[in-house]
Amino acid sequence: METQELYMEYRPLLFTLAYRMLGSVMDAEDVVQGTFLAFAGVGEERKEQVSNVQAYLCKMATNRCLDLLRSAKHRREVYVGTWLPEPVVLREEQEVDEPLYELLRRDDLSTAYLMLMETLSPEERAIFVLREAYQYSYAEISEHVAKGEANCRKIYSRIKIKLGPQLADARADYHQDLATLNRFLAAFAAGDVDQLLELLSADVTLYSDGGGKATAAIRPIVSAPHVLAFLQGVAAKSGPDSSVELVTINGQPGLLFLTGGQVHTTLCFRQKAGRMQNIYLMRNPDKLAAIGVNLYNGKEKQS
């Protein structure tokens, strides 16, 4: 099979693997491109010896992700304010190939889920993602991360115990989230403070990521009254050319905020028992750059 054919077949898998590990669209794209460029440079004799192309490509991509995660550790430590994963936004009529679309709708790509991945070391994250998302055997994982099979099993079990309850909470239901978001939007438009507070958990936490390049709360904002006041303050600054667009963000319903047709903020959330528990605002322009770009062939969304 030619490299271009392999690219078409395995790109969705490699992109979501890299994104799960890195939380960055641009870095995930770089990993995919680098993996296929490296594979194209492999000699034909060596390629013929590869019995499982998918496993071979995944191993190459995993190694690149591990290298990036290790180098990113220092950057995350000096990041200005809260670090949030780069949102994967699907807009209406945006062209995305079907396999990639289905993978992007998975609940283990939610922002809450990816935030949990940030608590793991690079090696832990690789082991957990390969086992949890792709059902790799421990023997296969061992080959990917250069650790013993028994060690991989032990690490995975330890992560499940450590994150178990939080992982369950991080999983989302698209239709329930959409219903909650629509109720919230209706109450916000009507100025119904009582209903808005009813839709926010008492200890709701809002995280905003400006990366030092856009206005954002440096620290998380906690409690329903404080979060609502913050959102009302943001809304009060909207001008006549401002608009809001309902989209899919990391497989769940979310919002784009635009001024003059340019995206400046995304909003998504995690709910619990019908109330918003965590709200995530992305305002870092570097992490909004990929919005509107076709995730299949790189073309921009046509308006």
Residue 114 burial (C-beta neighbours within 10 Å; 0-12, 13-18, 19+): buried
The amino acid present at 196, given as its one-letter code, is L
Q: Give pLDDT, residue 78.
A: 79
Tens-digit pLDDT profile for residues 194-250: 999 999 999 999 999 999 999 999 999 999 999 999 999 988 888 889 999 999 999
Tens-digit pLDDT profile for residues 134-164: 999 999 999 999 999 999 999 999 999 999 8
Q: Is the pLDDT of residue 96 over 70?
A: no
In the chain, domain spans: 3-170, 174-288
Architecture per CATH, domain 174-288, reads as Roll (3.10)
Tens-digit pLDDT profile for residues 256-295: 999 998 999 999 999 998 999 999 999 999 999 988 654 5
Q: Give pLDDT, residue 302.
A: 41
Residue 241 burial (C-beta neighbours within 10 Å; 0-12, 13-18, 19+): exposed
Q: What is the 3-state secondary structure (H, E, C) of 50-80?
A: CCCHHHHHHHHHHHHHHHHHHHHHHHHHCCC
Angstrom distances, CA of residue 186 to CA of 62, 83, 179, 198: 44, 30, 11, 13
Q: How far apart are CA 128 and CA 135, in angstroms?
A: 10
Provide the pairing of β-strand 275-282 with 200-209.
parallel
The average confidence (pLDDT) of the chain is 88
Does residue 260 or residue 104 have the better pLDDT?
260
Q: Give pLDDT, residue 135.
A: 93
Residue 138, SS3? helix
Of 303, 279, 287, give the one whose Cα is nearest residue 208. Answer: 279
**Beta-sheet strand order (sheet of 89-90):** 89-90, 242-249, 252-259, 262-272, 275-282, 200-209, 221-222
Q: What is the pTM of this model?
A: 0.88
